[in-house]
Structure 1
Amino acid sequence: MSRIEHYASRLAPNVAPINAIFIARHFNRVFGRRPRPPQDPEADYHDFLVDRMSRGSWSSTQLRCVDKEFAKLEASKLHPAIKAAETVAVIPIRGMSIDRFTEAMGPYLGRHFVAKPTHGSAATEFLDARPDLTKLYRAGRYNYFYSFRESQYAPLERKIIIEENIAEHGSDLRDFKFFCSFGRILFVQVDANRFIEHERILLSPPDFEPLNLTLGAFKPTTTWVRPKQFEALCHAAQDLSRPFDFVRVDLYEKAGQVFFGEFTFTPGAGMEPFSEPDFSRRLLSEIKARPDCPAR
């Protein structure tokens, strides 16, 4: 996004026709075309995602699920057995100066905690590893809606959440991302070494063997070993996704237990292409298979 576009995005209201204009510019850069309506026979999964981004017809439950402070509570309602990283503190950041923020973060520095915005993606800082508090402060004050017009982020309160780091010192947990529709697993994305040399593999149900395609620009994982708790991960993802026409459920496995990560309703802002476009079209067909799917 150019500086001019970003400035315009900050000024433009959150209404569907204007959102669609901004999104179409991003979409054209990635896919070389304008988005299609999800009802179009040629539409694919990416068209579906950017359509829901622009419309902004989010339920109160979906908005709570996007907010990382409340997502854990919603997850525990849907799957009571789910574990989650303990919330240590939540710091509302709107109107807070950098000096006041640095002071508020002081008691948590040097401890095995992570800190990140509750209202957006990425920007995770590890508090026992020389965190960049200025970067975290800026990320916390930023409204992620401005970047790609993902309308679910627009109304969220801006906060920093501090959680226990469930990974062991010096290690990185594999991230199991289940792409689901009404409790049905469409495919699974497994990410490893996310903060070192990011690797990714895609798995297809029902046998969950690796797919010969990629999503986004990440190094393919050369080895895949299914964890013993994979069935429990699948069961949790099914329960957590059951109320939603589409959601990505992020889970972790540690010491035989399943941990909740987050809910994502527009993965990659709809801008991460598959290496095989046909897969994207088949994916939308599966999402639209339910008679109550709004995209039909």
Structure 2
Amino acid sequence: MKNLLPDWIYFQLVYVKNYKRLGNFSQPQKFSEKLFARIQNPLPAFSMLADKVKVREYVSKTVGDQYLIPCYGTYERLTPEDFKNLPESFVLKANHGAGQVLVVKDKSTLSPESVCNQANKWLKDNYGDESREKHYLNIPRRLLAEKALLQEGNSPDDYKVHVFNPRDGRAPHCFIQLMKGRNAILSQAIYLSDWTKAPFWRAGYSAVQQKDNSLRPICLEEMLEVAIKLTGTLGYARVDFYVHDDRLYFGEVTLTPAGGRVRFEPAGLDAHLGKLFSWPDRMSD
């Protein structure tokens, strides 16, 4: 039944379920309201930024090729012959959504036909339909294979830099969401731009879980600088990075985290972040 609902009803119902209040999407003030307004009226550039293949050109032009994970190939459809030509370890992903990722540590242990079938099924997935994130629907679907940035056989930590551009003369405001343990028990911790613990946390992850003892990344200042450059004049964006062998690598740009349903606590932070998120949306050339 929800697929029959018009957008204005659907998004209001989702917002009320998540935030326990009505949302103002025509004149948004809070961080969450601006995310939901953005989902309903995405800028044309959003599809490019969310496209894991196309965004590589933007990263190269804006900050340089040195931040790109080496790419082994892109495919409209993966074949066993393509699989044969890939190195022993790599990461395979679809470019038009999230979660469609396969980390191949040793391809000799896998069936080429099975991997190809799984990857090609991703291409049939209308990612964005469920959450009605329209900018994903305009991405030409492809697969890409990248170098696997493994650390002792595991995926590296994920640094998600949230960048807020007030655009009123104030400097951009950043905080870093560190995700660890994707191969085991996932934990999250949030740090301010000087790597002190943030006085807030993501809903669903208690303050106790924030006591993460990871070391400050050696390239923290570079990470923040690159994230701000990639965000451009957008009021807000999340830019994800990996650090491998002390080198910084770009992961992706996310414009509507968790389909707009990402929440931070304690109460009042939604309004505070909304003030840092300049509106209306604008993307420089």
Instruction: Show the counterpart of 1:113.
Output: 90
1:176 aligns with 2:145: no
* Paired AA for residue 25 in structure 1: L
Instruction: Show the counterpart of 2:22.
Output: 34
Consecutive unaligned residues of structure 1, counting only runs of 5 or more, are 13-17, 94-100
Measure how far apart 1:168 and its partner are. Answer: 3.5
Measure how far apart 1:171 and its partner are. Answer: 2.4
Instruction: Show the counterpart of 2:32.
Output: 46
Match 2:144 to one of 156, 161, 167: 161
Could you report, residue by residue, the CA deviation over 1:257-286 in whole angstroms, capped at 9, with x for unpaired residues? Answer: 211111111111111221213112100101
Measure how far apart 1:38 and its partner are. Answer: 6.4
User: 1-side partners of 2:188 and 2:139: how far apart?
Assistant: 30
Could you report, residue by residue, the CA deviation over 1:238-262 in whole angstroms, capped at 9, with x for unpaired residues? Answer: 2111232221111122222211111
* Paired AA for residue 199 in structure 2: N
User: 1:1-296 to 2 correspondence within 5 Å?
Assistant: 4-5=1-2, 8=3, 18-37=6-25, 39-40=27-28, 43-56=29-42, 58-60=43-45, 62-80=46-64, 82-93=66-77, 101=78, 103=80, 106-107=83-84, 111-128=88-105, 130=110, 133=115, 134-182=117-165, 184-205=172-193, 207-218=194-205, 219-288=209-278, 293-294=279-280
TM-score normalised by L of structure 2? 0.83
Give the length in aligned residue pairs: 268
Could you report, residue by residue, the CA deviation over 1:170-197 in whole angstroms, capped at 9, with x for unpaired residues? Answer: 1221211111134823321111112321
Which moves more between the two structures, 265-274 or 77-86?
Answer: 77-86
TM-score normalised by L of structure 1? 0.81
Change (3 A) 1:170 1:66: same
User: 2-side partners of 1:154 and 1:244: how far apart?
Assistant: 21
Instruction: Show the counterpart of 1:98.
Output: none
Measure how far apart 1:204 and its partner are. Answer: 2.1
Change (3 A) 1:208 1:169: closer
Change (3 A) 1:19 1:86: farther
- Percent identity of equivalent pairs: 19
Change (3 A) 1:86 1:295: closer
Instruction: Show the counterpart of 2:168.
Output: none
User: 1-side partners of 2:135 and 2:97: how far apart?
Assistant: 10
Measure how far apart 1:221 and its partner are. Answer: 4.9
Measure how far apart 1:78 and its partner are. Answer: 1.2
3-state SS of 2:259 partner: helix
Measure how far apart 1:48 and its partner are. Answer: 0.7
Could you report, residue by residue, the CA deviation over 1:121-153 in whole angstroms, capped at 9, with x for unpaired residues? Answer: 112101235586354333332121211111110
Could you report, residue by residue, the CA deviation over 1:192-219 in whole angstroms, capped at 9, with x for unpaired residues? Answer: 11232111111223x3311133214345
User: 1-side partners of 2:200 and 2:247: how far apart?
Assistant: 29
Aligned alpha-carbon RMSD (Å): 2.6
Instruction: Show the counterpart of 1:15.
Output: none
3-state SS of 2:9 partner: helix
3-state SS of 1:176 partner: strand
User: 2-side partners of 1:210 and 1:224: how far apart?
Assistant: 11
* Paired AA for residue 119 in structure 1: H
3-state SS of 1:145 partner: coil
Measure how far apart 1:26 and its partner are. Answer: 2.3
Measure how far apart 1:109 and its partner are. Answer: 6.8
